Amino acid sequence: MKQLKHWQDPVNALLGVWVVLSPWALGFQDMTTAMANAVIIGVALIAASLGAMIVPRAWEEWTEGILGLWLVISPWALRFSEQRDAMRAAVISGIVILALALWTLMTDKDYNSWTHGAAH
């Protein structure tokens, strides 16, 4: 059995499950835009995280980071920032997802050669 390369990937997969379920857990399932955003981004995060666990590649970490960043800005971009539970769920989840993705990118020697000025 192949050993897991980054512990952050299963954590991000679990966060993806949380993001998908958050509309029902926090009671904003009737807000179509916020609910659809959570489900779509959550499913995409689960897929990227599972891909990163099966065949680790830097682009999957970048994808996870972009999804996290989108969650942070989505309440304002999609105009649901007034709904506090939906906004907080998106922003807090997005910050954690983005931080985990960046942590992986910065600490994996196979992914971070650009931070050390190495030429390929």
Mean pLDDT over all residues of the chain? 84
**70 in Cβ contact with 41 (< 8 Å):** yes
What's this model's pTM, rounded to 2 decimal places?
0.81
Structure tokens belonging to residue 45: 């995060």
pLDDT band, residue 113 (cuts 50/70/90): low
**39 in Cβ contact with 20 (< 8 Å):** yes
- In tens, the pLDDT along 28-41 reads 999 999 999 999 99
Tell me if residue 99 falls in helix, strand or coil.
Answer: helix
- In tens, the pLDDT along 79-107 reads 999 999 999 999 999 999 999 888 887 77
Using alpha carbons, select from 96, 83, 78, 91 the residue that is nearest to residue 27. Answer: 83
